[in-house]
Amino acid sequence: MTKTTLFKQDGLPTFRPPSGVIEVRQGGARSELATFQNGANGEMVDPFGRHITYLRVSVTDRCDFRCVYCMAEDMEFLPKRDLLTLEELDRLSTTFIAKGVKKLRLTGGEPLVRKNIMYLIRSLSRHLETGALEELTLTTNGSQLKRFAKDLADAGVRRLNVSVDTLDADKFRRITRWGELKKVMEGIDAAQEAGLHVKLNAVALKGFNDSEIPSMIEWAHGRGMDMTLIETMPMGEIDEDRTDQYLPLSKVRADLSRQWTLNDIPFKTGGPARYVEVAETGGRLGFITPMTHNFCESCNRVRVTCTGTLFMCLGQEDAVDLREPLRSSEGNDLLAEEIDRAISRKPKGHDFVIDRKTRNPSVSRHMSVTGG
Ligand code: SAM
Ligand code: SF4
């Protein structure tokens, strides 16, 4: 038998956890056991034996930047009515946690521009308290971080990825079109002051930041931050030619090796990056190389958009609608069944291609739809 318990969070509206979730209060601390009827509480294992333990949730497709490799300048965003409510996002995430997700990353668009985002984050943090979830984290452009850093730390967030592609204010404005580097820097300061571990993410872009990469690494490591470099992926129509932007990280790594000693280390954060330690700086440097080194064999992730569409692979079009099963029933059994069906279709890997012959993006949606 499943049971639903209503509870009220301090200062927050009454929140209804999904039915099928049994909430047990012990000594004032909240612990929550998630069980579902029909045996749908099984963990998620795809046809290639990969355990799905990592969920990325795009909480909005909107953003206060327009990074040139990510969005066109005049993006058309989804009508607000199509978005899942914060309660629905919570219910969806909770169902995934009940099915074995241990790491949850909120992303976007820019997650911190979603209205009342702290409501969702505080609510999800109950799964950290019970130990059901090991990590709740965000990828952000940092523009709103000064305002949110302390609240995020108080809600149990421990680590953040902040995306910064250059430390030059003019170049930053050019690459983000609308961004202000000073604000992002203040956000990083505030995050570190609040005790959050910040990792810097930078997309490697030919002719834009290639010569700056070593100084960015030195800067990040000097501030006690890990840094990860990302290869640009062919997602969505943008105003520029991606072949002009694409910089293989194999080349970047070879260039860095001439100046520094890069030691491979087994360090993992649950994501796709492979890490080295830079002997000279003592810091960690990650490489996310979807183009030059396919990391699909160890993929443990799925992604949900802000409209409840589940993408089993960032680099494929196949997707499953979870909004309908979410809305059509108060319980989560239908939702759990649909998730199981989707996981049984998770493809082996992506087919990203960037070359002069291939003019169309490998997937038509922008990165801001599924989140990075
Ligand atoms: N707005 C947040 C941010 O910028 O961190 C979160 C969403 S953003 C889509 C997540 C990450 O994806 C960022 O680090 C961004 O640089 C990266 N990204 C966006 N479009 C990309 C693309 N086409 N190829 C590779 N990385 C991309
Ligand atoms: Fe916005 Fe992030 Fe995309 Fe830049 S990369 S436009 S900050 S969603």
| Nearest residue to 202 (alpha-carbon basis) of 172, 235, 244 | 172
Whole-number pLDDT of residue 230: 93
Q: How many degrees, rounded to 5, is the angle at CA 367 between CA 102 and CA 108?
A: 55
Same domain as 225, residue 112: yes
User: Are 11 and 108 found together in one domain?
Assistant: no
How close is the Cα of 245 to the center of ligand 2, in Å? 16
Regarding whether 163 and 95 lie in a shared domain, the answer is yes
* Chain segment 31-77, per-residue pLDDT in tens: 343 433 323 457 999 999 999 999 999 999 999 999 998 998 898 99
Per the DSSP assignment, residues forming a β-bridge with 24 are 31
Q: How many whole angstroms from 182 Cα to the centroid of ligand 1?
A: 19
Q: Tokens for 183? A: 């604000």
**Nearest by Cα to 290 from 235, 343, 345:** 235
- What pLDDT shows up at residue 372? 61
Report whether pLDDT(228) > 60: yes
Coil/strand/helix, residue 303: strand
Residue 22 and residue 55 in one domain: no
Amino acid 299: pLDDT: 87
Question: Which residue, judged by its Cα, is nearest atom 20 of ligand 1?
Answer: 70
Residue 6 and residue 76 in one domain: no
Give the residue with greater pLDDT, 226 vs 348.
226
Residue 335 lies in a domain: yes
CA-only gyration radius of the chain, Å: 20
Is 136 domain-assigned?
A: yes
**Do both 114 and 134 map to the same domain?**
yes
CATH number assigned to the domain comprising residue 175: 3.20.20.70
Asked if residue 176 belongs to a domain, the reply is yes
Whether residues 21 and 52 share a domain: the answer is: no
* Domain around 113: 48-370
The Cα 236–Cα 76 span in angstroms is 12
The angle at the Cα of 195, spanning 287 to 227, to the nearest 5 degrees, equals: 15
Coil vs helix vs strand at 107: strand
- Where do the H-state alpha helices sit in 161-232? 169-176, 181-193, 213-222
Task: Name the DSSP letter for residue 27.
Answer: T
Is 200 part of a structural domain of the chain? Answer: yes
Residues 216 and 350 reside in one and the same domain: yes
Overall domain count for the chain: 2
Residue nearest to atom 8 of ligand 2 (CA): 109
The backbone torsions φ and ψ at residue 172, rounded to the nearest 5 degrees and listed phi first, read: -60, -45
Q: With respect to residue 172, please indicate whether it lies within any of the assigned structural domains.
A: yes
Q: Does residue 72 form part of some domain?
A: yes
Domain presence at residue 43: no
Do 235 and 348 have their domain in common? yes
CA of 233 to the centre of ligand 1 (A): 9
- Pick the atom of ligand 2 nearest to 108's CA: 8
Indicate if 196 and 267 belong to the same structural domain.
yes
- Give the confidence band of 302 by pLDDT, cuts at 50, 70, 90: very high
Q: Is the same domain home to 169 and 286?
A: yes
Q: State residue 364's pLDDT score.
A: 66
Give the integer Cα–Cα distance in Å for 85 and 107: 15
Query: In this structure, are 54 and 32 located in the same domain?
Result: no
Report the atom number in ligand 2 closest to the C-alpha of 109. 8
